[in-house]
Every structure is written in C-alpha cells, then in structure tokens.
Structure 1
Amino acid sequence: MSKSIVSMVSFEDPYTSLKKLIEECDGFAGLNPEDKILIKPNIVSWDFELPFPPFGVITTTTVIHALVRLLKENGFNHLTIGEGGLPKAHSQDPSVYQTIGYEDLAKQYGLELVDFNQGRFGQVDFGNFTLSIAQSVLDADKIINVPVLKTHNQAKVSLGIKNMKGVLSRKSKMFCHGLGEFDLLETFPRIIEKLPVALTIIDGVYTLEKGPGHTGKAFRKNLLIASRDPLACDLVGAEVLGYKGEEVPYLQDYAKRNRRSLSLDDLKIKGERLEEHRQFVDYDWEWTKENTGPIGFEKRGITGLAIRKYDNSLCTGCSVLFNPMLILMMSSFNGQPFPNIELVSGKSQSASEGFAKTILFGKCACDLNKDNPHIQQAIAVKGCPPDLKDFEELLRAEGIKVNYEEYVNYRQHIFDRYRPEDGFELNHWQVKEGTEEVNE
C-alpha cells in the first residue's frame, strides 16, 4: 500500500509557496475540470464593534486568493467559497465577506460566495445520530478544506477534520456538544467521512496558542501543509503543534474507526523537515485544583467565587463568550471576597451545595438546573448564547458591579499586542490590488 503524501512548504510569496505545496502532494489530481468545487475556509466569527485580531483564528485571505488563482489557471471554473460562522456570538454583518476580501475575489474570478447559515440543509445519517449539513456542501463534487494551524481548548488541535464542523446547521453544531456517546470528540470527527474532501491545506501563516478564538495568543509560523489525505494532513499538523496523533483523542478515534495508522512512518512527508517546525503550542487554560476559576483569579486573591471550568458540552456560542464573562467577573473584584457565588455552564454542570448565589450561564445551564434543590438563589443568564449586556445588568442588580469598559480595554490590549514590526500583517486578509485577473 502506497504512503499518503503530505507536503510542507515555508510561506513566502503566497502564490509561489502554495503552487509548490500543491505540486509536492499532487493536490489537484483528484479534481475534474467539470467538478463543482467548494472551498471551505475557517471563519469562526467576526466582530464589527470591538478590535478583532484574526491572526491564527481565521484563514488568511492571501492563501485563499492564491488557491483560487491556481484553480482557475488549471481550468477549474466552477468554484464556490462557503462557510457557516457563528451567528449572534458577536455583532454579525453580511459584509464579513467584503471585510476579508472575498467579495473582491468573487468579482475578479467569477466565483460564488455562500453563507451556509442562510441556505438550506440536508439530513445526513451517521448511524446513531443525524446531522443537518448545508445543501451547498452536499451538492459539491469536491471540497478543498482550508483550516488554520491552531490549538483548541476542548479538542487540543483544530485542523482539517475539525474545520468541517462549520458545514452544520446551528442546531446540529449544538448537538455535537452533547454528552456520552454524543460528546464533541465523538461526533464532529464523523462529519468529514460523509463529504468529498479532495484536498486539505492547513494555513500556518500564523498559529494560535489556547485557541480557537482570538483570546488565545498567536505566533507567526510561516508554514503551509497539504495532503489529499485528511487524516495524514492533520497528523502532521498536530505534530507541528507538538502533539502526537495518539495524544489527540479524536484523531485516535478517527484512525481506529477507519482502520488507519497514526504513525508518521506510514506517511511520506515532502518539502520542509518536520523536526525544524515542531514546537509545542499549549491548548489549555489552567484552572485551580479546586476548580474555582482560572489560576489568574487565584493569583489576584479572588475568593468567594467558584467558576467551574468549561467542558466539551459548552457550545461554541457560549465558549466564545466565556472569556469575556471571566473578564467582566474579574472587573467587579474590589479586594473583598465575592458573596459566595458559583457559576456553572454547559449541559452537564449541576449547581453544588453551599452557595448563596448560583449563576447559570446560558440556556443549557438554566434548563439543566431549573429544579436543582441545591440552588438558594439563581441568577439565570438566559440566551443561546447569552448577551454580555444582559449578563452585566443581571449582576449589577445583585450588587456585583462589573465594568464593561474593562472588557473593551482588554480587547484593545489583545489587538495591540500584534505589531506589524513583529510580523503580524492585517493585509493578509485583503486582496492586493493589481493582481492578475484570470478569465475563463
């Protein structure tokens, strides 16, 4: 049996680097000129109200641009770019595609843009569960998957297999954060098995510690990874991030179910030497041993408050708001202990005994704990996901004076730490003027 080829190329000029990457793994070999080809980037969300650093979070437009140009030059003309970002997690706007240059690409190259959230969905049977997948994905003959090289605080790494969760309806995305056999790590790896992913290109221009959102810390990496074999590509991506395949539960599960090896010895890696790029990138936020909150809270002397660490049942909508919630809670600390408060979230966390107040963060926590006899006073932060302004008002009504401006300042701080002189270039999410137009 021949070995799957994975190519690795240093990112320099986007077009030249990507062309070499694809040639090394014969990436277009599985495509037919008449194929309807869907390009699936990673666009988790965008924020039009507060500073948003996309580094290591969102697929760079410069890589997507080079890919589209190469496809057109090779005679592939039926191209669509599609994604299903998070609705309501932050202020959303139909112009997100315009903001990151996709509308310019559509005009220049005659391709179609699709927002999965705005279209129809088809039901796909996975045996013990069913998921709704965007019809435009099901209609594609081939899919080119373009994730980011980043870590994930629930899944350890978020690469090609994880990126396909974005093709689901909102309800199905929430279902994938279930319990037991429907745990996140048991559900999302199944999605790619039903889809015609012909090529995976991992965008490692930047990489992200403690991802997958912008509250993690990004680094300039300058690496592209590609393979026609999704598992092979993810195994190499995980190794670059410092994780062996057997250390990533969902890769282990995928390999077992598909009777595949996790050994890099069974792959043929071409181009860059993996050893020169492997560097551990932490995925997890450290909590106290007593599970009362982040280590940072303990270091600040915060007491009288127990914020239980998120688990896999916390949906992406709530997880995006989890860090802002922490910042708001921290902003209310005035040196005195909190009034014996517990905060629970997700589908599995039940309120504990002995707390004067219990904050139920999000609809799932509210539903699970509505009849919990341990709760003396509930502060129900409803919503799917909750609204930060509502959260602020509810806490203020209980005498907990959070300061939203501190969260705004925190967001500005995150944005300001990425300086152009350190290699962080926002123009990687733009289509440069003067690029050669390709006609059919």
Structure 2
Amino acid sequence: MSKPVVSVVKFNDPYQSLRQSLDLSEGLKGFSKEDKILIKPNLVSWDFDLPFPPYGVVTTSAVMAALVRILAEEGFTDLTIGEAPLMVPKTVGQAMFKVLGYQKLKEQYGVKLVDFNEEKFVKVDCGGFELSLAEKALEADKIINVPVLKTHNQTKVSLGIKNLKGCLNRKSKMFCHGAQNDLNHTFPHIIEKLPVALTIIDGVFGIAKGPGPTGKAERLNLLVASKDPLAADVVGAALLGYSASDVEHLVYFAKRSGGSINLADIDVQGEDVAACAKFLDYDWEWTPGDTGPLGYAKRGIKGLAVRKYDNTMCTGCSMLFNPLLIMLMSAYKGEPFPNVEVVSGKVQKASPGFDKTVLFGRCACALNKDNPNIKKAIAIKGCPPDLKEFEQMMREEGIMCDYNEYVKYRHYIYHRYKAGDGFDMGLYSI
C-alpha cells in the first residue's frame, strides 16, 4: 500500500508557496471542473469591540486569496467559502467575511460567501448519536479544509479534523461538549459524513495555549497540504511538537478509519518535519489542588478556588474563561477573597465549605441549582455569560472585579505583536 503524501512548504509568497504545496501533494488530483467546491477556513470568532489579534486563531486571508486564485486559474468556477463562527449571541459570519476581505473574492471570482448559521442544517446519524451538519457542506462535491496550525486547551491540537466542528449548528457543537460525551470521540465523526478532498493547514502563524487570542502566537511560516486528512493532522501535530499517539482524537479517528498515526507511514514532501517543528504548549497550568492557575498561587491569592475548565465547557464559555481570570485578578488587592469557589461547564459541582459560589454559565447554573453545598450562589446564567453582568454581580458581593482591567489586557495582547517580528495584519486582508 502506498503511503499518503503530505507536503510541508516554507511560506514566503502566498501564491507561489501554496502552488508548491499543492504540486508536491498533488492536492487537486481527482477534482473535476464541474465540482461544487466548498472552502472551509477556521473563522472561529472575531471581536468587533476590542482589539483582536487574529494570529494563529483564524485562517489568513493571504492563504485564502491564493487558494481561490489557484482554483480559478485551474478552471474551477463553483466556489463557496463557508463557516459557522461562534455566536455571541448572534452570528458574525458575514461581518467576518467583510473584515477579512472576502468580498473581493466574491467580486473578482464569483465566490459565494455562506455563514452556515444563517442556513439550513440537516440531522445526520453519526453512529449512536445525531449531529446537525450544514446542508451546504453536505451538498458540496469536494471540501477543501483550511484550518490553522494551532494548539487547543481541550484537545491539544486543533487542525483539519477539529476544524470541521465549524460545520455544526450551535446545538450540536454544545452536544460535542456534553456531560455524557467525550469531546475527542464526538467531533471526529463529522469528517466521516463530509466529502473532504483536500486539507491545507495554514501555518503562517501558530498559537500556544489556543484556540483563542489569549494564547501566545508565533510566526511559523509553514504550509501543510494533503489529500489524506489524518496524515495532514499527524504532520501538523508533529510540527507543533506533539506525537499523534498523544492526541486522543487522532488516535480515535485512526482506529475508526484504519489509518496510521505513525509519522514514518507518511510520505512527507518538501521540508523536514523535525527541522521545522516547534513545541507550543497547549495547556494552562493549574495548582495541584485545583484552586486556580499557578499564576494566582505565585501572587499569593487566597480565599479563592477557581476550578480548572474541562472538555464540557463549550467554546463560548471557553473564550470567556481567560477574561474571567483577568477580572478576578483585578479584584485582588492583597487581602484574601471571601472564601469563594468558581465552577463552570456541565459536570463541576459546587463543593462544601465555601461562603460564596460563582456559577459561570447556564450549564453550571442548571447543574447546581439545588446543590445543598451552596450557601450563596452568584449565578452568571448567560450562554455564553456576560462579562459586564459578572462584574456587576461580583461587585454586589464586595469583590471589586474591574472590566476595564480586562480591556487593558486586550490592548496589551494586541500590541505585543510587532510588525518587525513578522506580525502583519495585512495577511488578514485582501
């Protein structure tokens, strides 16, 4: 049996580098000029109110524009870009397409721009459970999957297989994070239902402690391409410093598909994987007693126990968990907190012995509504929660969280990326 081919190419000129990547991987082999092609980038979210550094978080517009140009030059005319970004609380797909310059692709090449959240979803049997997939994705003849080369604090890496979670409706995304489900054993079923013909991993930037912008981005200058989605992710994981055997969703998918997670079983064309690899940590370190981030302990924060996020926390709450930590830290003035516990997600139950319990998000509120261990509940019920409401309710309890400190933090993480270090916002416009 021949080995799956994966190309690893250094990113210089977007068009030339992607051309080389597709040539080495024979990425367009088997495509027909009549194919309805759906391009699925990673556009997980955007922030239109506060500074948002997209590096390593969303697919670069430079790679997307180069891909569309190549497809047009090869005679493909039925092109659609589709995504279902995070709803906070409403969908922002069309606004993201605009800010990323995709309107120019529509004008120049006739590319259709589809926010799946505004379209129809179809229930699909995934073997023991149902997921609702975007009808536009199911109707495509070929899907070109264009994820980012990034880590993920719940799944270690987020590459091609994980990126297809963006083809689900909101309810199904939440199901993947269910109390009775293993996240790593749900979303790998999605790719089995979709005609994914090519994976292109955008590694212009990568991010540690992803998937959101509060992680630390790196300029990596890599493109990975393959017609084999598992092989692409195995190589992508290796480039981030992880063996696929340590990434549960890749192990799970390999068992289901009969594929290999051994790098030696892949024909890598182009750059040497080991020479290009750079370890990016996926996890935020917590105290051994699960009382909060190690940074809290180092600062001497006492009287507060923030339980570590788990896989049942959906992306909406996950994106707000770091802001929660920043705002709690802003309330610390050297005195202990008034014996407070913070729980989140769908399985964390309030512990006995605390005077106040913060229930962060609708799921935590529902799970703990009759918990006898709670003396005073501070219920932040939103889905996802509202940070301004969190600030107000904490202040009513004498815990002086400051939303403005989080705003300052957002400005800090945006401005820490310098153009001289390769962080060019021009790569996110067309």
Query: In the alignment, which residue of structure 2 is the partner of 1:192?
Result: 191
> CA contact under 8 A between 1:47 and 1:92: conserved in structure 2?
no
Counterpart of 1:11, as a letter, is F
Counterpart of 1:330 in structure 2 is: 329
Cα distance in 2 for residues equivalent to 1:116 and 1:359: 34
SS of structure 2 residue aligned to 1:372? coil
Aligned-partner SS, 1:379: strand
Q: What is the CA-CA distance between 1:94 and the residue it aligns to?
A: 3.8
Write the distance in 1 (CA, Å) between the matches of 2:49 and 2:179: 34
- Deviation by residue 1:242-267 (Cα, 9 ceiling, x = unmatched): 11111101101111111222111211
Partner of 2:153: 153
Task: Please give the secondary structure, in 2, of the residue aligned with 1:143.
Answer: strand
Residues 178, 184 of structure 1: 8 Å contact kept: yes
Distance 2:136 2:290 in 1: 43
Q: 2:69 and 2:191 mapped to 1: Cα distance?
A: 25
**1:25 lines up with 2:62 in the alignment:** no
SS at match of 1:151: strand
Q: How does 1:38-77 map to 2 (within 5 A)?
A: 38-77=38-77
d(CA) in 1 for partners of 2:377, 2:171: 27
Question: Does 2:388 correspond to 1:389?
Answer: yes
TM superposition shift of 1:92: 4.3
CA distance in 2, matches of 1:122, 1:156: 29
Structure-1 residue corresponding to 2:369: 370
Change in Cα spacing, 1:89 to 1:420, as seen in structure 2 (3 Å) is: farther
Q: Which residue of 2 aligns with 1:438?
A: none
CA shift for structure 1 position 95? 2.2
Q: 1:92–1:392: structure 2 CA closer, same or farther, 3 Å change rule?
A: farther
- Do 1:46 and 1:91's aligned partners in 2 also have CA atoms closer than 8 Å? no
> Please, what TM-score do these two structures have when normalized by structure 2?
0.99
CA distance in 2 between partners of 1:113 and 1:289 (Å): 47
- Does the 8 A contact of 1:56 with 1:218 survive in 2? yes
Correspondence 1:194-343 to 2 at 5 A: 194-343=193-342
Task: Compute the RMSD of aligned alpha carbons.
Answer: 1.1
Does the Cα contact within 8 Å between 1:89 and 1:317 map onto a contact in 2? no
Measure, in 2, the Cα distance between the counterparts of 1:73 and 1:344: 53
Whether the aligned pair in 1 keeps the contact of 2:83 and 2:93 (CA below 8 Å) is: no
When the two structures are aligned, how many residues end up with a matched partner?
430
Question: Residue 437 of structure 1 aligns with which residue?
Answer: none
Contact residue 84 and residue 93 of structure 2 kept, 8 A: no
Tell me, in whole angstroms, the C-alpha distance in 2 between the residues paired with 1:156 and 1:363.
26
**Do structure 1's residue 113 and structure 2's residue 113 form an aligned pair?**
yes
Report if aligned partners of 1:51, 1:411 keep a CA contact under 8 Å in 2. yes
Structure 2 distance, partners of 1:43, 1:167, is 11
| Residue 171 (structure 2) pairs with residue 171 (structure 1) | yes
- Residue 404 of structure 2 corresponds to 405
Aligned-residue sequence identity (percent) comes to 60
Q: Give the SS at the match of 1:223.
A: strand
Task: After superposition, give the CA deviation of every residue in 1:94-125 in whole Å (9 maximum; x if it has no partner).
Answer: 42211010111111111100001111100110
Q: State the SS of the aligned residue for 1:105.
A: helix
Q: How far 1:280 sits from its partner (Å)?
A: 1.1
Contact 1:60 1:429 in 2 (8 A): yes
* 2-structure distance, mates of 1:208, 1:116: 26
* SS class of match (1:95): helix
**TM superposition score normalised by structure 1:** 0.96
The AA in structure 2 aligned to 1:102 is Y
d(CA) in 2 for partners of 1:60, 1:271: 21
Give the 4+ runs in structure 1 shifted more than 4 A. Answer: 89-93
